Amino acid sequence: GQWWSVPAAVLIGIPLYSNATGIIPVMESLLQHGLPIGTTLAFCMSTVAASFPEFILLKQVMQWRLLAIVFAILLISFTLVGWIFNGLSPIL
């Protein structure tokens, strides 16, 4: 429930790799163990979309500068989405 839990979840998810259907059971387990929805969502999005294997593949068609910009945009957007969902979870 701390402010830094969402950025930490995003950073932890980066070295991992999973596809979209494989992460659903992980999300369910994290939610059942009490992780807030926004933190879980940010972790899962970073695992699927910002993993090292994805960026190794993208490096074949993108320059380093563009790849770094895409990576930064993804990390910032995942963190913001996590914070928004954590902020809205008491209302929902």
Q: Show Cβ contacts of residue 81 under 8 Å, excluding neighbours closer than 6 positions.
A: 38, 41, 42, 45
**Helical segments of the chain, H only:** 5-13, 24-32, 37-49, 52-59, 64-88
pLDDT score, position 63: 94
What predicted TM-score, i.e. pTM, was given to this entire model?
0.86
Measured CA to CA, the distance from residue 24 to residue 82 in angstroms comes to 17
Neighbours of 76 (CB within 10 A): 12
The total of structural domains in the chain comes to: 1
| C-alpha radius of gyration, the chain, whole number | 14
Identify the domain containing residue 9 by its residue range: 5-88
How does pLDDT run along the chain (92 residues), one tens digit per residue?
788 999 999 999 988 888 888 899 999 999 999 999 999 999 999 999 888 888 888 999 999 999 999 999 999 999 999 999 999 988 86
